[in-house]
Amino acid sequence: MSDPSPTTERRVRLAQKLPLRALALGRGREDGLPGVNATVRLDRRTKDLTKRLQPGEVAVIDHVDLDRVSAEALVSCEAGAVVNVAPSISGRYPNLGPQILLEAGIPLVDDVGPEIFAKLQEGDQVRVDGCAVHRGDELIVKGTEQTPESVETALVEAKAGLASQLEAFAANTMEYVKRERDLLIDGVGVPDVTTKLAGRHALIVIRGYHYREDIATLRPYIREYRPVLIGVDGGADALLEAGYRPDMIVGDMDSVSDDALTCGAEIVVHAYRDGRAPGLKRVEELGLEAVTFPATATSEDIAMLLADDKGASLIVAVGTHANMVEFLDKGRAGMASTFLTRLRVGSKLVDAKGVSRLYRSRISTWSLLFLVLGALVAIVIAVAVSPAGDVISPLLADRWHAFVFWLTGLFT
C-alpha cells in the first residue's frame, strides 16, 4: 500500500479538526437558528481579506474562479463560511479552490451579486444558512449553495473549456514575446543588484502551493548549500516564518510585511513597463533603498529572470506554478510570461519537490559514525602510547566504572 500523499494528509488533519471547528463557527448556538452565525469580513481582494480574517468568521469575497492558493489561505484562516459575489467556477477551466473549501468543511455560497457590499458592513453579525445570508431577521442576499456534487459536476463541464483557454494562451504568448523579446532573449532591462548570485544556488520562495511543506523538506539542502534566499512578495514572510532571513525581496510589495522589508534584504521592486512602480513609495516611506525592474511578467518570473541573468548555477522554486491548471489559476494574462520564463531559464530551474526527492546529504549517517569511531580509536591509542597514559588511564578507568555502575543501577 502506497504512502499517503501530502494532500491526503492535509485532508485528514482538516477532517480531524472539524468537530472542534464546528463549535467555533457558532453552529447550534443558544438562539437555535441553523447555519453559521458569525462576524462578517468583506473585501474584493481575497489575499487582503485573509490578512484580517479570524477563525470562524464569514468571508465575503469577489473572486471569479476561486484559485487553489486563495482557497488554502481561507482554510488556513479557518473561515466559518465563504460568500462569493462572483461564480467560484465560471467554467473556463477546472479550478480547484471550491473543492478545497468544501473538503475542509467550509460552506460556500456563490454568485450572490455585488449588492452585498452595500448592504453589509465590516463587523456585522450575519447568519449563512444554505444559499441565504441573513442579518438578524433580514434576508440580505441569496445565491447558489455549492455542494461536493455540484462542484464535481462543474469541474467536469469546465474541462471542456480548456481548448479555448489554450487558444487564448497561444495568442497571449505571441503578444508577450513581441513586448518582451529583448528581456527574454538578451536580458535587456535586468537591473544591477549587490547580492552575489554568480555560481551559487538561488532558492526562490513564492507563498503558493504547499510552500510550508516544501521549505521544511529543503532544510538539509539549505543547510549544506547555503543558497541565495529570494522571497517573492509574501514569500519573504514565509522565509522568516521558517527561521530564515531572505537575501533579496522581489515583487510589487503589496503582500509583504514591514518586518520582512526591514530585515536587511536587498529590495527589487517590480515596475510596469513604462517605469511606474507603485510599490516603490511604500519602500521609500520605510526609509529603505530599492532598485526597480520594469517588466510585464509576473513577480515570480522576474525573480527567476534576475537569478538567471546574474549567473545563478541552479534555481530552486518553492510554491510556484508547475502545470497548466496552475497557470490558468493565475489568470490568462500571467500565463505567457510564466511559460516563457521557464523556457528562458531552462535546465537551471528545479521544483522544490524534485530537490527534496533527489537530494541526499553528501555526508551519510554511516560516514559520521565511522568518523566518530575512528576518533575514539585514535584517542585510545594516543593515551596508551603516550607517557601521560599511566596518569590518564586510571582516571578514564574510574570514569568508565562509575558509568557502568550508574547504568546498572537503572535496571536493578
User: Using one digit for the tens of pLDDT, what is the confidence trace for 219-245?
Assistant: 988 998 999 999 999 999 999 999 999
- If asked whether residues 223 and 305 sit together in one domain, one would say yes
Confidence of residue 14 (pLDDT cuts 50, 70, 90): very low
- Tell whether 286 is covered by a domain: yes
- If asked whether residues 335 and 379 sit together in one domain, one would say no
Q: What is the mean pLDDT of the chain?
A: 82
Span 315-329, pLDDT tens digits: 999 987 655 666 666
Q: Which amino acid is at 24?
A: A
Span 351-374, pLDDT tens digits: 876 665 555 555 556 666 777 778
**83, 128 contact by CB (below 8 A):** yes
Q: What is the pTM of this model?
A: 0.62
SS3 236: helix
What's the rounded Cα separation, in Å, for the pair 109 and 317? 34
Name the least confident of 185-189, 321-325, 394-398: 321-325
Section 272-277 average pLDDT: 87
Span 56-114, pLDDT tens digits: 999 999 999 898 888 988 999 999 999 999 999 988 778 889 999 999 999 999 999 99
Confidence of residue 381 (pLDDT cuts 50, 70, 90): confident
- If asked whether residues 211 and 69 sit together in one domain, one would say no
Q: What is the dihedral of CA 88, 89, 95, 96, to 10 degrees?
A: 60
Which of 146, 175, 191 represents a domain boundary (last residue)?
146
Which of 98, 116, 146 represents a domain boundary (last residue)?
146
State which residues form the domain around 31: 6-146
Write phi, then psi, for 291 (nearest 5 degrees): -110, 155
All three cell numbers of 337, joined, read: 510570461
Nearest Cα residue to 328 out of 53, 19, 91: 91
What's the rounded Cα separation, in Å, for the pair 355 and 376? 35
Confidence of residue 275 (pLDDT cuts 50, 70, 90): confident
Bridge partners for 236 per DSSP: none
- If asked whether residues 330 and 369 sit together in one domain, one would say no
- If asked whether residues 396 and 265 sit together in one domain, one would say no
State the pLDDT at residue 155.
Answer: 86
Burial grade of 267 (CB within 10 A; 0-12, 13-18, 19 or more): buried
| DSSP label of 348 | G
Which of 94, 111, 146 represents a domain boundary (last residue)?
146
All three cell numbers of 311, joined, read: 549567473
pLDDT at 2 over 50: no
SS3 26: coil
Task: Report how far apart, in Å, the C-alpha atoms of 115 and of each of 41, 86, 142 are.
Answer: 15, 11, 11
Domains: count for the chain: 3
- Tell whether 154 is covered by a domain: no
State the pLDDT at residue 408.
Answer: 75
- If asked whether residues 23 and 168 sit together in one domain, one would say no
- If asked whether residues 184 and 333 sit together in one domain, one would say yes
The gap between the terminal CA atoms of the chain, to the nearest Å, is: 44
Q: Dihedral sign, CA of 112, 117, 119, 121? A: positive
State the pLDDT at residue 95.
Answer: 84
Ranked by mean pLDDT, the top range of 158-162, 234-238, 271-275 is: 234-238
